[in-house]
Each structure stands twice: as structure tokens, then as C-alpha cells.
Amino acid sequence: MFIFLEWVATVTTLAGAFLTSLRYDPWNIYVLNVGSFLWLLWAILERKLSIALVNGGMLAIYIFGIFYITP
């Protein structure tokens, strides 16, 4: 039902992984935050608990990364 949101989340997460491979800090963390948030939103809307838990945890880790990397 929310196929567009799912694909935007996928492309955003892949873009964040690409930025990580090129060592674009901290932009990679920002993009991965957006990707995880979109996946979390999709999982909540689709009632997919396992995906919601994984992306909620990843979002918390990425937010920590923003404050740890950025002075």
C-alpha cells in the first residue's frame, strides 16, 4: 500500500551506504538517519514490528553518531 515510501526509504538508505563507502562524514550519518526514519515510518504504517524495531534501533545509533562525530 505504501510502495512509494518503501522505495524512497530504500534509495535513501543505499545513498547513505554509498556516502559511507566514500567517507563523506557526517553527511552519511544524516542520510542514513533519513533512510532509517523512512523505514521506521513505513514499518509502523504496515505494522511490521521486526522492521520497526531494527530501524528504530538504527535510528537511535545514527542519532548518537551525529552527536559523537559533530562537535
Q: Looking at residue 70, what is its pLDDT?
A: 59
Q: What is the mean pLDDT of residues 28-57?
A: 94
pLDDT of 49-70, one tens digit each?
999 999 999 999 888 877 876 5
Question: Is the pLDDT at 12 greater than 90, yes or no?
Answer: yes
For residue 21, the tally of other CB atoms under 10 A from its CB is 9
Q: Looking at residue 38, what is its pLDDT?
A: 97
Question: pTM for this structure?
Answer: 0.87
Report yes or no: 55 and 36 within 8 Å, Cβ to Cβ: yes
Domain ranges of the chain: 3-69
